[in-house]
A and B are shown apart, each in its own frame.
Chain A
Amino acid sequence: MSVSHKSVGFQARKSTAGVAGGKPDAEHPVGEPLARVDGPLKVRGKARFAAEFALENLTYAALSYSTIAKGRIASINADEAKAAPGVLLVLTHENVSRLSPPPLFPEGAAGSTLPVMQDASIHWNGEPVALVIAESQEQADRAARLIRVTYEPEIAAIEFETVRAKAKAPKNILGEPTCIAIGDAEAALAQAPVRIDNIYRTPRHNHCAIELHALTAAWEGDALTVHDSTQMVHLTQKTLAKVFGVAEQKVRVLAPFVGGAFGNKSIWNHQILAIAAARMVGRPVRLVLSREGVFRETGGRTLTEQRVALGANADGTLAALIHTGIAGMTAHNDCPEQFTFPARHLYAAQTFLLSQKVAELNIVANTFMRAPGEAVGTFALECAMDELAEALNLDPIELRRLLEPDKDPVSGLPFSQRSLIEAYRRGAERFGWQNRSPVPGARSEGEWLIGQGVATATYPYHRFPGGVAKIRLSADGQATVQMGVHEMGMGTATVQAQYAAELLALPVECVTFEYGDSSLPSGVVAGGSCQSASIIAAVNAACEALFDELLKLVGHKSPLTGLIRTDVEAYRGGIRHRRDTDRFQSYVAILNQAGKDVLECEAPASEPSEAKRYSMHSYGAQFCEVRVNTVTGETRVSRWLASFDTGRILNARTAASQFRGGIIMGIGLALTEETFFDERTGRIMNPSLAEYHVPVHLDVPQIEVMWNGSPDPQSPYGVRGIGEIGITGAGAAIANAIYNATGRRIRELPITLDRLL
């Protein structure tokens, strides 16, 4: 069997069709609203996702899931399944090969360190207990239903009320301290003239990317090729190498297109089982999880119970800021849902108590979901701020102005750049905030009450270490930039082509960005809103190496002879002297003169030390208007405006879409999304898109977004990352608007109609 697996790369089209806001700036492509380079493929259905690679001799897989939360498998009867037409293999703990436990993020790509199907023990309701391989999907699905499993159940920790008493402080929260106490916040709260002290609850959520988790995997000898729906190709490569005991170079992971991920597309049991089965049957395997399977076998956002207590002085300043609480978690992952993080950086206060615990449950390992921590932490904190503003008889924006710190309130580090109050000012003006009545229930139209709310959005700046980029410059004037990163809809290929074009002073259509393949130089995870800055840092390093090489190549008769890197700059497809600007030679001329067809340079990104020296965060102000029906209790979001302070924007069009996407997920978080969990059995009760309600067209108004675009002086090219901030503050903005409309303060998500009636 021979299969060619090509990594993809895109060239920006010369056509400027659809470019909003006038003519593109050929000299400075960054920031231009360039249409997505992969747009033509996507609208034609030609972008190939993980389940869409046709291999000869392909087999199909289906999974069977446990129906108890904890205990042991007493027996598995797979006789009927094995005898069913087309079945090639039934994989269970009885016949699976020995597999090493997968390493957890960030060492590996796994959502849990539990060994995969290595014995009869069961750890959550929905854990895979068998995998069927058959000639067709229909045969595999049918056979999976014929497997009879009996269990010896044990008492499982699945009721949050029971385990919360045993909640403990983890060693750290994603490397940060678990508890921050500055002064005696409880005492300061007790003495404060104005106090807000409430509990907020947020439920479990699921990512619900529309593309189901899928892989197409093939072994050739001890070499493994996997088309996986993943947001971390290199960590997946590393993890699979470890699990299967093969060298990393023997594993190739490709993910040129990923149909949404949001934190969910990492390594779960299904890839490991399907790949183990492929080795046993000696044929390639395709596994597409069912939608139910996605809920059963991959983790979502966990539930939280949060206390926010604010003690204010008479002038509105904070004497005490307390944010504490508990998140549900498993013993086998490291995702404590860092909901206290926003309170560590947003507001000045005389005392702080910021501390969170985890309560261990026998559930599918919870994982990172868009703005883990910040999405639900800002719900509690920003609702509490709204409550405090009302108690102080202050406008909520005025309260934020009063509480604006001049340095990081917890670490004492200077802010690299922060214009939150300016974002509020611009947003308020555009939204017409001054027309809003602070009195709840003041506005109505027929049976609809209308209210407006505001909340702060915030998300930290991250840059993952370890990224490497390669630039290939060819004698035809084309450049290719390579890095094993990801395109899941963020616009990576587009904006990075723009960035490299800017850096090399090439027309954007002369630059191709290749990604999504573990055979490319080491990329970073598409997570933590950090891809853009991480890629740029690596591309900068590669570009420096390239310039050094180019200057070495120039001959004795070049206008650039004798110059060093600091003397020159990129200019119109070549290099020129910074001051003596007539001294110019094009890349093409340099390569031709040196008799070279191609020049390749690869370099690692600098260490991300900037975030150790500065408090680096993005900010925003979320404004919304809701209409609440007094008869049915339903809430409709009728207007939205978000004003962001998120560093330099690389592409106005794709950035606006990312902001909107985050906000829309925030509308779901506020109003409709909840993974129902049966606390008697530990089983998820709504594992489908019919019963887990993500926002649909009619739930979403026109969303206006604006940004200041101020470059961060400390980050690569001033970029801070924008993938997650949109969801932060969104839940609180809606809850605050609902309060303004109805006078009802709902402190538990989602705010469904039963909670309003």
Chain B
Amino acid sequence: MHFNVNGRDHEVEPDSRTSLLDLLREHLRLTGTKKGCDQGACGACTVLVDGVRINSCLALAVQYQDRAITTVEGLEADSGLHALQQAFIAHDGFQCGYCTPGQVCSAIGMAKELERGIPSALTEDLCAMSMAWTRDEIRERMSGNLCRCGAYNGIVTAIETTFAGESAR
């Protein structure tokens, strides 16, 4: 089977039961994507598939052949860390670092959702063409990514400073 992860092609024959998460971690040795519950409750395994965030623990690997999968290892450019990764460091958006790759990938997926005008439970005008980058919108939309160390304030600030500024420009 053919998988495209972070722009690289891989030929692997995983078990039909193998999750996308285990494919990444155990077969491709891309251990940046984390396992925190294996049942879609914590968000540590969040990756981007064709730019959309998903819980890779709930995805069967075989269903993701030939899709563009991006993990935390694929976010860096030649110029260095992704702006959001830098912002996580600057605003101490983590402690143990285990949920961090999922938070980062999730936030990047979330940014696209806001751009596309997809409303959240907090969005007041469901017909608005674009959404405001408020801290409450960020908190609501990131609530699927748990952080037990409690770095939430720093995570929200990192996301806000990275993307809110961008959309204002």
- Nearest residue, chain A, Cβ from B16: A138
Q: Evaluate whether A694 and B151 lie within 8 angstroms (CB atoms) in the complex, with A40-B89, A46-B32, A257-B96 already known.
A: no
A44 touches B148 (CB 8 A): no
Of A338-346, A380-388, A661-669, the one contacting chain B is A661-669
A residues near B153, Cβ cutoff 8 Å: 660, 700, 702-703
Asked whether B128 is an interface residue with its Cβ less than 8 Å from the other chain, the reply is: no
Asked whether B142 is an interface residue with its Cβ less than 8 Å from the other chain, the reply is: yes
Complex Cα spacing A137 to B22, Å: 9
A697 touches B38 (CB 8 A): no
B15 touches A35 (CB 8 A): no
Complex Cα spacing A212 to B148, Å: 12
B41 touches A689 (CB 8 A): yes
B139 touches A700 (CB 8 A): yes
A18 touches B89 (CB 8 A): yes
A697 touches B143 (CB 8 A): yes
Q: How large is the interface on A (under 10, 10 to 19, 20 to 34, 35 or more residues)?
A: 35 or more
Which of the residues B25, B30, B36 comes within 8 Å of A211, measured between beta carbons? B36
A210 touches B36 (CB 8 A): yes
A45 touches B73 (CB 8 A): yes
Complex Cα spacing A688 to B153, Å: 24
A489 touches B90 (CB 8 A): no
Asked whether B12 is an interface residue with its Cβ less than 8 Å from the other chain, the reply is: no
A137 touches B26 (CB 8 A): yes
Complex Cα spacing A532 to B72, Å: 31
A residues near B31, Cβ cutoff 8 Å: 45, 48-49, 51-52
Complex Cα spacing A142 to B18, Å: 12
Asked whether A656 is an interface residue with its Cβ less than 8 Å from the other chain, the reply is: yes
Q: How large is the interface on B (under 10, 10 to 19, 20 to 34, 35 or more residues)?
A: 35 or more
Complex Cα spacing A45 to B70, Å: 13
A657 touches B32 (CB 8 A): no
Question: How far in angstroms is the closest Cβ of chain A from B154?
Answer: 7
Asked whether B33 is an interface residue with its Cβ less than 8 Å from the other chain, the reply is: yes
A residues near B151, Cβ cutoff 8 Å: 657, 660-661
If over half of A's interface residues share one DSSP class (helix, strand or loop), that class is named, otherwise mixed; here it is: loop
- Nearest residue, chain A, Cβ from B75: A44
Hey, what's the 0/1 contact readout for B70-82 against A, CB within 8 Å counting as 1? Answer: 0111011000010
A44 touches B89 (CB 8 A): no
B37 touches A689 (CB 8 A): yes
B41 touches A656 (CB 8 A): no
Complex Cα spacing A660 to B85, Å: 21
B32 touches A258 (CB 8 A): no
**Residues of B15-69 contacting chain A, CB below 8 A:** 15, 17-18, 22, 25-26, 29-42, 44
Question: How far in angstroms is the closest Cβ of chain B from A19?
Answer: 9
Complex Cα spacing A686 to B128, Å: 39
- Nearest residue, chain B, Cβ from A18: B90
B residues near A656, Cβ cutoff 8 Å: 92
A44 touches B96 (CB 8 A): no
- Nearest residue, chain B, Cβ from A53: B31
Question: How far in angstroms is the closest Cβ of chain A from B131?
Answer: 16
B98 touches A259 (CB 8 A): yes
A residues near B3, Cβ cutoff 8 Å: none
Asked whether A3 is an interface residue with its Cβ less than 8 Å from the other chain, the reply is: no
Asked whether A260 is an interface residue with its Cβ less than 8 Å from the other chain, the reply is: yes
Asked whether B95 is an interface residue with its Cβ less than 8 Å from the other chain, the reply is: yes
B residues near A52, Cβ cutoff 8 Å: 25, 31
**Residues of B67-114 contacting chain A, CB below 8 A:** 71-73, 75-76, 81, 85-86, 88-92, 94-101, 104
Q: Given A210-B147, A211-B96, list of 7 further CB < 8 A pairs?
A: A43-B100, A45-B73, A47-B97, A49-B31, A258-B96, A653-B92, A698-B139
Which A residues have a C-beta under 8 Å from some C-beta of B?
17-18, 35-36, 38-49, 51-52, 54, 136-139, 142, 207-212, 257-260, 262, 288, 290-291, 488-491, 653-654, 656-658, 660-665, 688-690, 694-700, 702-703
Nearest 5 pairs of A and B residues by beta carbon: A45-B32, A489-B95, A259-B98, A18-B90, A42-B97
- Of the A-B pairs whose beta carbons lie under 8 Å apart in the complex, a sample of 21, sorted by A's number, is A39-B88, A43-B72, A43-B104, A44-B32, A45-B101, A49-B31, A136-B18, A211-B98, A257-B96, A259-B99, A489-B96, A656-B92, A660-B153, A661-B149, A688-B39, A689-B42, A695-B152, A697-B143, A697-B156, A700-B150, A702-B153
Which B residues have a C-beta under 8 Å from some C-beta of A?
15, 17-18, 22, 25-26, 29-42, 44, 71-73, 75-76, 81, 85-86, 88-92, 94-101, 104, 135-136, 138-140, 142-156
